[in-house]
Every structure is written in structure tokens, then in C-alpha cells.
Structure 1
């Protein structure tokens, strides 16, 4: 295995997609769908966590996958995607969450390298 490669970084995107599917299922089963503030917060937290594990090049894809599940199943229901103001806002929020997760992970790696070296 090459230096800096970990299984978590390689599998972050597929595991994030599975996590988003499970999150949608859990939200639908508990009734915490679109009107509830729980759904966007849960997706933001999931996106931050997965982005922190993912390779920087796939971070935008992580946000896009989260948005596809959130917009298609929670916000609009019945797997309908839309591009109204609330849909664009949720995409922007998830992209910012992904960037925050990636930046936080990069900062942590930098601190670890400096303290180890």
C-alpha cells in the first residue's frame, strides 16, 4: 500500500453513499422528513464526517451524493430532483460542509506531521 493510503480514504465515497441511503431510510421511518430540522442537520453531519475521511479529489462528489439523497428523497420525496431555491441552497450547504470536513482533516494531518517530525 502506498504511503498515505488508507482503506477509509479509499472507501469513503461508497460508504458515504450507503450512509446516506441508511440515513434517508431512518428519517423516513421516524417521520423526520423535510419539515423537520433534523434531516438537514443529519445530512450536514454525515457529509462533514465522510469528507473528512475522503480523498480531496472526491470531496465534491461526496457532497453531490449527499445532496442527491437529501434532495431526491427527503426534500422533494419520491426520488424527484429539483432546482428551486431550497434545492440550490441545500446543495450549497452540503458543498460547504464537505469543504469544512476536508479542510479540518487536512489541518489535522498537518498538525500530526509537524508534531511527528
Structure 2
């Protein structure tokens, strides 16, 4: 019988693809035909999405979760028409989303600590 390691759960394996789908859906919600949401509001929404997707993700995938969120945020919210750039707002968005993934890692570590305590 093949046992799965405790850190390899279905949620950990699907966090990146489900995060990408959620980011695509978030773009469609934030960008209606009238011009879309303010970039700061959109960044906050993407940061929350990144945090939620990073909690169950494997540690090695957490930066990728942030990068996928940034690609959708930068390509569709900031620059439109799927254009990517690396100006100051683009770098700020990447930093915020990486910090959100780091916060997700902290939440995951806290959850593991609580589960291990008697």
C-alpha cells in the first residue's frame, strides 16, 4: 500500500490551478465594460485571493501562486489587454502579492502548529 505524505493533500496539489481559475474569474468580476475597479481595490482583492490560495498550497508553489495572481492583476487590471509591464505600480503589485503569499505561508504554519498541540 502506497501512503501519501501528510503534506501532499488534494488541496495542496490543486492550489495553483484553482488559484489561476479564481484569478481569471476575479478579473471578469472586477472589469465590467465601464472601465473596471480602481487598481487599489483590485490589488486588495487579488491579495486576499493570493492569501487564500497560498494557505493550502505546497511551500514550493506559494511563489507561483503569487506570480499567477500578479500576471492576471498586471495584465488585465493595470495595463489592460493582457499587456505586462514592470513599472513602479507593477512592481508594487508584485511585492504586495508576494507578501500575501508569505502571509498565507504563515497562516498555514500556524494551522499546523495548532493541529499538533494536544
- TM beyond 0.5: yes
What is the match of residue 10 of structure 2? 7
TM-score (norm 2): 0.90
Of 11, 22, 25 in structure 2, the residue corresponding to residue 22 of structure 1 is 25
The answer to whether the 8 A contact 1:32-1:39 is kept is no
The alignment status of 1:38 with 2:38, answered yes or no, reads no
Superposition pairs of residues 1-117 of structure 1, within 5 angstroms: 1-4=3-6, 5-29=8-32, 33=36, 35-115=38-118
User: Structure 1 pair 39/2, CA: closer, same or farther in 2 (3 Å)?
Assistant: same
Q: Which has the higher helix share?
A: 1
Indicate if the aligned counterparts of 1:8 and 1:53 stay in contact, CA closer than 8 A. Answer: yes
Deviation at 1:31, TM superposition (A): 5.0
Tell me how far apart the structure 1 counterparts of residues 86 and 39 of structure 2 sit (CA, whole Å). Answer: 20
| Equivalent residues, number | 115
TM-score normalised to structure 1 length: 0.91
The two structures, once aligned, show a CA RMSD in angstroms of 1.6
In structure 1, C-alpha distance between the alignment counterparts of 2:9 and 2:27, rounded to whole Å: 27
**For 1:47-77, what per-residue CA distance to the aligned partner results, in whole angstroms no more than 9, with x for missing partners?**
0000001000000000000000000000110
Unpaired runs of at least 5, structure 1: none
